[in-house]
C-alpha cells in the first residue's frame, strides 16, 4: 500500500516538474520578413514586410509539439523605392486578382532536425491563395531578455516561394519567379 502511494506521488511530482508549453507573442518591433529576387539578371532586388503579429506556442520539452501563427499587412511592403512599392500594390500584383490585405501563416507540423533547428511546415495565405510552405528554422536564442528582464525567444527562418503560384507572376521568368524569403522574429511571453 505504501509503495503504491509513493509511486503515485512520484508520478504526480514528475508530471508537475515537466515544463508546459508556453505561449509567446511576436515582438512586432523586432520581427521582419525580407525577400530578394533577380531583376532581369542585372541586380538582386530586396524588399521587406513588417508589422508582423502572431503567437508561438513553444514546448521546450517537445519542440515538435510547438506551433506558430503569424499575420502581416501587405501594405507594410517597403522596397526602398516608392514607385516600385506602388507598382507592387497595384492591380499588376498585390492589388489584383485574389487580392487580400493580409498575409497569414499557420503551422501544421514541425520536424526537429537538430539541437536548435527545425523544418516548420504550414499554410501560407498570400494574395488570397493558400499553399503549403516549409520554413527552415533556427532557434537563435532562448533566455532572459537583458532589458525587459523576462523570457524571450529569437528565431530565423528561410524559404523559397514561387510568386506565380500566388497570382503574382507578372514578368516571370525574366524577373525571377522564385523569391528567396528570410524571416527574423523575436517573441515575448503573451500577456
- Reported confidence tier of residue 18, pLDDT bands at 50, 70, 90: low
**Beta-bridge partners for 170:** none
Task: State if pTM tops 0.85.
Answer: yes
What is the residue whose three cell numbers read 487580400?
100
Whose CA is closest to 80, among 128, 45, 40, 121?
Answer: 45
* Arithmetic mean of pLDDT over the chain: 91
Torsion on CA atoms 16, 17, 23, 27, rounded to nearest 10: 150
The ranges assigned to domains in the chain are 22-189
List, for residues 20-65, the tens digit of each pLDDT value: 899 999 999 999 999 999 999 999 999 999 999 999 999 999 999 9
Q: How far apart are CA 12 and CA 47, in angstroms?
A: 52
- Reported confidence tier of residue 16, pLDDT bands at 50, 70, 90: very low
Q: How far apart are CA 186 and CA 65, in angstroms?
A: 19
pLDDT for the residue numbered 8: 42
> Does the pLDDT at position 13 exceed 50?
no
> Does the pLDDT at position 178 exceed 90?
yes
**Planar angle of CA 29, 52, 155, nearest 5 degrees:** 75
pLDDT for the residue numbered 97: 75
- Reported confidence tier of residue 7, pLDDT bands at 50, 70, 90: very low
List, for residues 115-148, the tens digit of each pLDDT value: 999 999 999 999 999 999 999 999 999 999 999 9
> Does the pLDDT at position 176 exceed 90?
yes
In this structure, which topology does domain 22-189 adopt according to CATH? Lipocalin (2.40.128)
- Record the cell numbers describing residue 124, joined without a space: 501560407
List, for residues 139-173, the tens digit of each pLDDT value: 999 999 999 999 999 999 999 999 999 999 999 99
pLDDT for the residue numbered 38: 97
Q: How far apart are CA 110 and CA 133, in angstroms?
A: 12
Amino acid at each position: 500500500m505504501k509503495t503504491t502511494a509513493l509511486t503515485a506521488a512520484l508520478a504526480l511530482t514528475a508530471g508537475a516538474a515537466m515544463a508546459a508549453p508556453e505561449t509567446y507573442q511576436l515582438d512586432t518591433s523586432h520581427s521582419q520578413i525580407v525577400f530578394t529576387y533577380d531583376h532581369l539578371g542585372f541586380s538582386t532586388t530586396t524588399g521587406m514586410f513588417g508589422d508582423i503579429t502572431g503567437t508561438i506556442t513553444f514546448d521546450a520539452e517537445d519542440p515538435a509539439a510547438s506551433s506558430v501563427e503569424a499575420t502581416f499587412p501587405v501594405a507594410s511592403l517597403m522596397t526602398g523605392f516608392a514607385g516600385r512599392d506602388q507598382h507592387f500594390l497595384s492591380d499588376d500584383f498585390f492589388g489584383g486578382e485574389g487580392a487580400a490585405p493580409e498575409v497569414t501563416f499557420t503551422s501544421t507540423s514541425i520536424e526537429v532536425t537538430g539541437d536548435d533547428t527545425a523544418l516548420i511546415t504550414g499554410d501560407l495565405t498570400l494574395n488570397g491563395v493558400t499553399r503549403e510552405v516549409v520554413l527552415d528554422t533556427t532557434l537563435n536564442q532562448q533566455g532572459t531578455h537583458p532589458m525587459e528582464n523576462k523570457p524571450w525567444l529569437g528565431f530565423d527562418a528561410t524559404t523559397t516561394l514561387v510568386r506565380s503560384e500566388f497570382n503574382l507572376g507578372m514578368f516571370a521568368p525574366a524577373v525571377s519567379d522564385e523569391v528567396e524569403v528570410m524571416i527574423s522574429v523575436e517573441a515575448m511571453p503573451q500577456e
